[in-house]
């Protein structure tokens, strides 16, 4: 029997982590979506199994894994529970910065599954333009800095143990951003309201406000003013490739559910299944082709990063855009191919439909990525109009 193309992440999730996904995360996914509750049980089980320490150094008790392995975990999770997948994705993106610039105690806590982190970049005033922070960091004595900002969307808001927080530089005259490791319990830090969204309903994505939050200068993640370079070099490649993996995980599940429906649903007056109808087969084939093309680009994006190819930045920018649009078009196609059955919760399509649309609007959005790709292809600076 002819098989579909093997995804580039196949076999990279350790068996004991896969068991946690199967036995803990998947059975809770529908309840997480229905109630909009944060998947604490699922995240805790993944932490206890060592999955949160995947990108952490073995010297601190972590797994010492790479982005390809992290993408495999996110993709596997996304197929069963988009909310849990997004929490883990944002944790991994934050860890890339903390591993390079954070203190030993926090790095050890992350490696051993005792610390959940996340990114806090997007702000009300600049919205998805994360590269242009409006929040400030001003000296407050010799050893302390005061942070003030209104972050618009922070995954795991009120649930994470820390935030990788962006601000304007404290004193640097060059650079556009500084980064901080901000403990979640800091006085003056406030989560503004519960998340009640269309999709990813359990990922606790809410506004977070800092009003006179004081942190020691040693909480800086890298030199003052160099936060954008750090974000672009560490957090962004992780976020973009893992976002693509998230989209493709949802896409694969949508295609599996659709294929099962086409095979098992019969037109009794014809004595045939829906899979025997040429139009349905053609539409399904088109969806599968786009998904396989996006998988191939993701594989090449990882290869370009590993080989330090000159086109690595372009590939990383391209792959989130392509995977996000592939997930959205697959979700739409699955709803049409499955008909009225897709609107019922028990089929599982409508939940993935809602989750599939999230990547389009998560910064950098698909539209912003198209502009970045155009700039890269035309030899223009990515951020010359950022200010």
- The model carries a pTM of 0.95
Let me know if residue 9 belongs to a domain: no
Same domain, 159 and 236: no
Same domain, 195 and 329: no
Let me know if residue 6 belongs to a domain: no
| pLDDT on residue 377 | 87
Q: CATH code at 180? A: 2.40.110.10
| pLDDT on residue 383 | 79
Q: Distance of alpha carbon 210 from its chain centroid, rounded?
A: 23
Tokens matching residue 62: 């972590």
Cα 200 to Cα 356: distance, rounded to the nearest angstrom: 9
Q: Are 162 and 179 in contact (CB under 8 A)?
A: no
Identify how many contiguous H helices and E strands the chain contains and give both numbers: 13, 9
| pLDDT on residue 329 | 97
Let me know if residue 383 belongs to a domain: no
CA atoms within 13 A on the CB side of 214: 6
Query: Which residue ranges in the chain fall short of pLDDT 50?
Result: 1-4, 385-387
Q: Distance of alpha carbon 221 from its chain centroid, rounded?
A: 21
Let me know if residue 132 belongs to a domain: yes
Residues 6 or more apart whose CB falls under 8 angstroms from that of 201 comprise: 32, 33, 34, 35, 36, 83, 195, 354
Q: CATH code at 257? A: 1.20.140.10
Q: Which is nearest to 228 in space by CA: 174, 153, 178, 169?
A: 178
| pLDDT on residue 175 | 79
| pLDDT on residue 124 | 86
Name the residue range of residue 256's domain.
228-377
| pLDDT on residue 8 | 66
Let me know if residue 10 belongs to a domain: no
| pLDDT on residue 386 | 42
> What are residue 32's phi and psi, to 5 degrees?
-60, -45
364 beta partners: none
| pLDDT on residue 7 | 60
Same domain, 111 and 125: no
Same domain, 199 and 236: no
């Amino acid at each position: 029997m002819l098989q579909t193309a093997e995804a580039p992440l196949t076999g990279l999730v350790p068996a004991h982590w896969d068991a946690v996904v199967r036995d803990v995360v998947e059975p809770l996914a529908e309840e997480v979506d229905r109630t909009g509750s944060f998947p604490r049980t699922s995240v805790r089980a993944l932490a206890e199994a060592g999955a949160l320490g995947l990108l952490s150094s073995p010297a601190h008790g972590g797994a010492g894994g790479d982005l390809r392995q992290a993408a495999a975990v996110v993709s596997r999770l996304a197929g069963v529970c988009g909310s849990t997948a997004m929490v883990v994705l944002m944790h991994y993106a934050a860890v890339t910065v903390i591993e390079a610039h954070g203190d030993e105690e926090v790095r050890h806590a992350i490696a051993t599954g005792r610390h959940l982190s996340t990114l806090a970049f997007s702000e009300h005033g600049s919205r998805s333009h994360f590269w242009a922070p409006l929040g400030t960091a001003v000296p407050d004595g010799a050893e302390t800095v005061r942070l003030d900002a209104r972050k618009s969307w922070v995954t795991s808001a009120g649930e994470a143990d820390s935030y990788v927080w962006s601000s304007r530089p404290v004193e640097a005259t060059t650079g556009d951003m500084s980064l901080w490791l901000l403990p979640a319990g800091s006085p003056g830090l406030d989560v503004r309201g519960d998340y009640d969204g269309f999709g990813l309903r359990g990922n606790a994505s809410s506004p977070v406000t800092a009003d006179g939050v004081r942190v020691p200068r040693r909480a800086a993640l890298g030199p003052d003013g160099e936060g954008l370079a750090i974000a672009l070099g560490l957090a962004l490649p992780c976020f973009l490739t893992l976002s693509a993996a998230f989209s493709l995980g949802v896409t694969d599940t949508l295609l599996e559910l659709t294929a099962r429906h086409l095979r098992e649903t019969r037109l009794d007056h014809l004595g045939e299944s829906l899979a025997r109808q040429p139009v349905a087969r053609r539409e399904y084939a088109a969806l599968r082709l786009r998904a396989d093309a996006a998988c191939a680009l993701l594989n090449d994006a990882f290869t370009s990063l590993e080989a330090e190819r000159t086109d690595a930045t372009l590939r990383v920018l391209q792959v989130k855009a392509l995977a996000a649009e592939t997930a959205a078009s697959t979700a739409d196609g699955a709803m049409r191919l499955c008909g009225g059955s897709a609107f019922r919760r028990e089929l599982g399509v409508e939940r993935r439909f809602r989750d599939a649309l999230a990547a389009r609007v998560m910064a950098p959005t698909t539209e912003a990525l198209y502009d970045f790709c155009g700039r890269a292809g035309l030899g223009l600076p990515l951020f010359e109009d950022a200010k």
